[in-house]
Amino acid sequence: MNDRDIYKQLPLGRHFAQIGKLYFGALSRALDHMELDRYYSILILLDKSGKPINQQYIANFLQIDKATMVRVIDQLEKQEYITRISNPEDRREHLIKLTHKAELLLPEIHATIQKLNAVAFEGISSEQRENFGFVLETIWNNLAKEPTMPIIINYKKHRAGSKQE
């Protein structure tokens, strides 16, 4: 059996993980000059929601476990990309809000993602892109019905001298 045949036998999730690793590696490289380390999706979610949102919503939307979510929010707050504000409707709950510092980064983050998406879809027609979106959504919906175990995927930048995964 040749490498291509073996590759076809690997779990579908392995292919998605490898693509994700390539994609986020390229994105991290393009945005390496920013202090922000890999939490672009949280800033984009906050930006596109157009209003402060609670931590639980972010965790559910991005499928981040609670412990990791607390660490990430603490880090983003320490770096002054987000602030926590009290929910006026429920003072026990905190809402997460973008800071001006984060808002200044978002145009570059959006532009970089658009460029990288264009690279990823080179040679793929708009009809194929539309079908791809439909296929991804169908796979998501099919797998969402299956029982799962918690899995943590943590795409950290490789630092010189550290062990690579």
Annotated domain spans of the chain: 38-144
CATH class for the domain made up of 38-144? mainly alpha
pLDDT values of the chain reduced to their tens digit, one per residue, 165 residues: 888 888 889 999 999 999 999 999 999 999 999 988 778 999 999 999 999 999 999 999 998 888 889 999 999 999 999 999 998 888 888 999 999 999 999 999 999 999 999 999 999 999 999 999 999 999 999 999 999 887 766 656 655 555 544
Helices (H) and strands (E) counted in the chain, each on its own, are 7, 3
| DSSP category for residue 99 | -
Instruction: Say how far apart CA 2 and CA 30 lie, in whole Å.
Output: 34
Instruction: Say how far apart CA 31 and CA 116 lie, in whole Å.
Output: 11
Instruction: Say how far apart CA 165 and CA 159 lie, in whole Å.
Output: 12
pTM above 0.85, yes or no: no
